[in-house]
Amino acid sequence: MKRPESVQVIKQRRDTALQSLLAGVPYIQFMGFKFDRRGDELTGVMPYQDMLIGNPMLPALHGGATAAFLETTAIVELSWAMMWDRMEAGEDVAEQRLPKTIDFTVDYLRTGLPRDAYARATVNRSGRRYASVHVEAWQDNRSRLFAQATGHFLMPQTDQNT
């Protein structure tokens, strides 16, 4: 029987793949989005910055920043789910192309407070060409969402799935 890989090898492979996905996107760096990984589960993090504020008096997060955070989390989750099997098989996933947003509907539930925000996306359906993703965002309390969204995405066409 094959010996299981060492934990360091597995972690490094997964973290490297995730970083290669994020580091190449200037907008993710500009907005300061981070992703926590536990196994294959990702949590998007939008660390608080003053420039995310839309309302300087309340103050509250800009709805556009919230929308961007939700959309980015959806795209990263979808890409991550797409590359997981190939990555685990030891293939090079550095060239992973990102899905394109077709439409995105944001539901604003509460004021975005001036503190870190978290988001988790669920791929409801992922076909060869299209995918549907739902994403939820919260701040202090996981059960009190401040925004949620659903979007449709066009999958990148690779040699594998054309």
Partner 1 sequence: MSLRPSRFWGNWGQHCYDLGLVRTFTAGFKQGMSKERQTMIAKQFISALPHAHALGMDVTEIGDGHATITLPYDERLVGDPETGVIHGGAVSALLDTCAGASVMVHESLPLGTATLGLRIDYMRPATPGDMITARAECYHVTRSVAFVRATAMDADSSRPVATATGAFTIQTEKKGKS
159 lies in the binding site for partner 1 (CB under 8 A): no
- Of positions 18, 21, 42, 52, contacts partner 1 by CB under 8 A: 52
State how far the Cα of 29 lies from the Cα of 33, in Å rounded to an integer.
7
- Scanning residues 84 to 113, which ones bind partner 1 (CB under 8 A)? 97-98, 100-108, 110-112
42 lies in the binding site for partner 1 (CB under 8 A): no
Q: Which residue has the tokens 């890989």?
A: 5
* Helix 7-23 × helix 63-88 angle, to 10°: 140
Closer to partner 1 by Cβ: residue 87 or 151 = 151
Please report, as a single letter, which amino acid is at residue 77.
E
139 lies in the binding site for partner 1 (CB under 8 A): no
The three-point CA angle 158-128-24 to 5° equals 45
Closer to partner 1 by Cβ: residue 87 or 106 = 106
What 3-state DSSP class applies to 133?
strand
Closer to partner 1 by Cβ: residue 12 or 49 = 49
Closer to partner 1 by Cβ: residue 104 or 118 = 104
131 lies in the binding site for partner 1 (CB under 8 A): no
3-class SS string, 82-101: HHHHHHHCCCCCCCCCCCEE
Report the interface residues with partner 1, using CB under 8 A: 24-31, 50-58, 60-69, 71-72, 97-98, 100-108, 110-112, 146
